[in-house]
Chains A and B, each alone.
Chain A
Amino acid sequence: MITKVRAHLSQNEPLIFERSSPGKIGYQLPELDVPAVDAVQMLGTENVRAEIRGFPEVSEVETIRHFTRLSTWNYAIDYGMYPLGSCTMKYNPRVNELVARIDGLAWAHPYQPDALAQGSMEVMARLEAALAEITGMDAVTLQPAAGAHGELTGILMIRKLLEKRGNPRKKILIPDSAHGTNPASAVIAGYAVQPVPSSTTGALDVGILERIVDEDVAALMLTNPNTLGVFEHDILRIADVVHAKGALLYMDGANMNALMGMARPGDFGVDALHLNLHKTFSTPHGGGGPGAGPVAVKKELEPYLPAPRLKRSGKKWAWEYQRKHSIGRVRAYYGSFGVLVRALAYILAHGGPGLRNVTIDAVLNANYLRKKLEPHFELPYTAPNMHEVVFSDERQAKRGVRTGDFAKRLIDYGFHPYTVSFPLIVHGALMIEPTETEGKRELDHFIEAMVSIAEEVEKEPEIVLTAPHGTRTSRVDEVTAARKPVLRWK
């Protein structure tokens, strides 16, 4: 029985271009306080465009209605839980939105004199210090704009260190359970990728690792806990094996929500890691970005951090550009400052004990779901899980229902689906991560929904196979979208 949602009228709305008509305006600019100029004279006839063909022409009222109507077609954290594994879809605190908009911070130009940017620099310095403490590392760069960007930055630093030692080496080892950005980043950094299989317990196969780490390996890229939500128990041995051959250990910090205040990557042998501020540190997903992917490193990698870096000069902050061994810039300016403000606000709200409680509740929530869902779903790996749990669709597949279908039916129950078909080492994966900002009531609703759908799979699979039924849009034709791409309105 569906209890979390009920049908409701939602407004239709065409594309903004279909609403437009010539002459409608939604803006007003102040009068010029200087003389107007002739564009053709100033720019040359050949450089002046006739018009922006097809651009919208609507009033302010239509603009607000258009986007408001569109917004009502979305699910969001503000509506309810996203059980998406590895995404850490936690509550986005609103005070973070307020502080990011304070004029002195929002209007700061990256090139304004350092003396007039001390506030922004202090914010960044404070965040660097906090992230270093949380991860147990020595130095942090806030430049990377996203997790994948951070991965690339981290691998580039490792490369530079190894070059300095005489040989950048050729390949990066990546577990077969890894997120797709890991191998993609390694390749952009100029390395070949060699997969490392997981063992039957879902952990990295240390025996195989020992056999394949050689002097051609630059690094092992590991996620810990891994994408099954399982902590790599042999992590110290893994770090030793990697280091013994002169390679480095890079950690994908996507699952940091499981570790805060409990264990620190810097303490278990990690040389470099990136964090996802839009996951662990609550900055909003915004429908697909912006995020930020700071990278934390051990002392040995500090010289290679992207330039410039913050340096304390008496009582003031300054940007140090002359950094001989830096890998260079990975983006213009200093970082996604607006995202950094939100992450710092989150850290200030919790403090040390608070972040530890976040991790505790995240792990409690995931274990509660595991306990309640275990009777109904196949659990391929039975090791203790931390902040997320991965089931497989094996039982449901017997009735012809796969994880993707099951997920679509979950939508009818008022939830966003869990992560479907990832990690790849589980056939037909259901990857579930509730995060700590879900209360028992929401979790119980979720359990109810999952159990109910599992029953439907047994008794009337058709309703699951053709879901969703209650949404504005039924299943979309992704095949035609790929065969005959239409990527703009004409």
Chain B
Amino acid sequence: MYPENFRYTKEHEWVRVDGAIGTVGITNHAQNELGDIVYVDLPKPGTQVSQGGTLGSVESVKAVSDIYAPVSGEVTEVNTVLADAPEKLNADPHGEAWLVKIKLGTPGEFEKLMSAADYQAYIGAEK
């Protein structure tokens, strides 16, 4: 369920790194907790984000959840698919419904995040 090559945060974001670019999304646990997603609010390309800072938000009918940046850097790409089809975030949170791509600004952040195993233990304990 949780890809091994991703790293995870306590706020239920995931990040995957390819070279200098990190791809960020929210986890399956997160989308499940939120229920049917109706809207995703994401920053514009060019925005600088720092680790732990607010990246945007995800809305269901009755709740809003902030998304926090798992890594620092500059937003290079935003997934436009979600503007018209926010439901994809429920369907494929780890794949098609990635949120943003970030050009990594601070080396070493990625490695310090939770592994897939740690994350699964974390959400198991949360229950």
Contact = CB atoms under 8 A, between A and B. Distances in A.
The answer to A–B direct touch (Cβ < 8 A) is yes
Nearest to B90: A479
A94 B38 CA distance: 42
A479 B36 CA distance: 7
Interface in A314-350: none
A68 B36 CA distance: 35
Contact of B87 (A421, A478, A483): A483
Nearest to B85: A483
B67 to A, nearest CB: 18
Contacts of A478: 61
B14 to A, nearest CB: 24
A421 B61 CA distance: 14
A343 to B, nearest CB: 32
Nearest to A478: B61
Interface string B29-73: 000000010110000000000000000000101100000000000
A482 interface: yes
Nearest to A482: B38
B86 interface: yes
B23 to A, nearest CB: 24
Contacts of A482: 38-39, 59, 61
B24 to A, nearest CB: 22
Interface residues of B, number: 8
Interface in A393-428: 421
A483 B39 CA distance: 7
Interface string A152-188: 0000000000000000000000000000000000000
Nearest to B59: A482
Nearest to B61: A478
A193 to B, nearest CB: 15
Contacts of B59: 482
A446 B61 CA distance: 29
A478 to B, nearest CB: 5
Interface string A188-232: 000000000000000000000000000000000000000000000
Contacts of B87: 483
Interface in A407-462: 421
A130 B39 CA distance: 47
A406 to B, nearest CB: 16
A95 to B, nearest CB: 39
Contacts of B62: 421
A452 B9 CA distance: 44
Nearest to A483: B38
A478 B38 CA distance: 9
A479 B61 CA distance: 6
A482 B62 CA distance: 10
A13 to B, nearest CB: 27
Contacts of B39: 482-483
Contacts of A483: 38-39, 86-87
Nearest to A479: B36
Interface in A226-275: none
A113 B110 CA distance: 72
A483 B87 CA distance: 9
A479 B39 CA distance: 10
A483 B38 CA distance: 5
B55 to A, nearest CB: 21
A265 B69 CA distance: 45
Nearest to B86: A483
Contacts of B61: 478-479, 482
A61 B62 CA distance: 40
Interface string B11-28: 000000000000000000
A240 B59 CA distance: 40
Interface string A476-490: 001100110000000
Nearest to A480: B38
Contacts of A421: 62
Nearest to B63: A421
A483 B35 CA distance: 13
Interface in B85-109: 86-87
A483 B82 CA distance: 11
Interface of B: 36, 38-39, 59, 61-62, 86-87
13 contacts: A421-B62, A478-B61, A479-B36, A479-B38, A479-B61, A482-B38, A482-B39, A482-B59, A482-B61, A483-B38, A483-B39, A483-B86, A483-B87
Which 9 A-B pairs rank lowest in CB-CB distance, beginning with the nearest? Answer: A482-B38, A479-B36, A478-B61, A483-B38, A482-B61, A479-B61, A479-B38, A483-B86, A482-B39
Given A482-B38, A482-B61, 4 more contacts: A421-B62, A478-B61, A482-B59, A483-B39
Interface of A: 421, 478-479, 482-483
